[in-house]
Structure 1
């Protein structure tokens, strides 16, 4: 029996270089123009691609901005400082630094506001930003458990809910302080937040 060869894919494959150029151009436009004046035509010109290239990849401006901002949060790294308190403090300070960038501040606030009436956009924010950054919580908790700072959790569903709550507390506090209250996130504030969080987790440190 003759083996069947896989059917050839139709259409031109996406270019990672083009995607990166488009997202970089989007962030540059956010800095110079802000969300309200940003257009896909301007982004296409800056990236050196046809406007149709953007529409093949993104449904509209909101989705494009979400993906452009998501790249910034992918820069977050969990410090391996030897203590959970210091790890939390380090991530909080990194997060606040990213939020202070004009492209992150204007882009994130705009798409979050738009998502209040767009369920698909809210889901894109969750998948592209929130879910991707929950890795930091899982990594930090695993290290802390290995060091004996946090108890092991035998129930996977409970552990998952705890991870979600930790992320919500940290992200919510930092976003509110930087983007809503307009207050600085300095070392002392980050340290206090870490202490509050650890007391709730029942840390032994």
Structure 2
């Protein structure tokens, strides 16, 4: 038996279809919105995967394909909220940049869903090293971009002489740690006077 002529063979193999349907960003948004709503309404104990699915109007399988635990979902919700923080380019000085981000961060921490999620995650992470690592990688470390951006602007304006003059990790810890302590632990408001006093302290240390 003779082989089939080469011209009868297709030039290219058929395209492989990817398995499964594309992930729906609409479902993601609905789930995260439902999680934030439940955190605000019912606190940490009120956040259950079943209730999130019901409020979001999605099947549990849809929810678990995206986030397989309450902790993962809460981390995603917190990371999304913190992702809205930015440094508007006022073109002025380092003090204005720091004061602006302190106000914005304090306002976020004042939201019940953010406060509930953060305190619940931190409490549960005390006995869960893997959860602490996830929080550090997905919530804490990405926000250091604000310090990096602020440092670059200060250098471009001649306020600092070199990028290495500001320790990103230390500055982040000082600012975020103080604001978290003030808002979440001490439960004090971020008044204009407090924000200005704190900013003066930070800038004095940075530019000393």
Give the alignment's TM-score, normalised by structure 2: 0.87
Structure 2's unaligned 5+ residue stretches are 1-10
Equivalent position SS for 2:127: coil
Does 2:28 correspond to 1:23?
Answer: no
- Where has structure 1 moved over 6 Å in runs of 4 or more? 2-6
CA contact (8 A) 1:25 1:47 kept: yes
Return the match for 1:69 from 62, 78, 82: 78
Deviations 1:165-202 (A, max 9, x none): 11111000000000001111122212222222222222
- In 2: Cα distance, 1:9 partner to 1:119 partner: 36
Establish whether residue 186 from structure 1 lines up as the match of residue 191 from structure 2: yes
Q: Distance in 2 between matches of 1:9 and 1:118?
A: 36
1:174 aligned partner: 179
What number of residue pairs does the alignment pair up? 197
The answer on whether the counterparts of 2:152 and 2:163 sit within 8 Å (CA) in structure 1 is no
- Contact preservation (8 Å) 1:85, 1:191: no
Q: Is contact 2:103–2:195 with CA below 8 Å preserved after alignment?
A: yes
Unaligned 5+ runs, structure 1? none
Is 1:44–1:51's contact at 8 Å kept on the other side of the alignment? Answer: yes
TM-score (norm 1): 0.88
1:88-118 Cα shifts (integer Å, max 9, x gaps): 0111011111100000011110011111222
> How many angstroms apart in 2 are the aligned matches of 1:24 and 1:4?
43
3-state SS, counterpart of residue 22 of structure 2: coil
Residue 10 of structure 1: how far off its partner (Å): 2.6
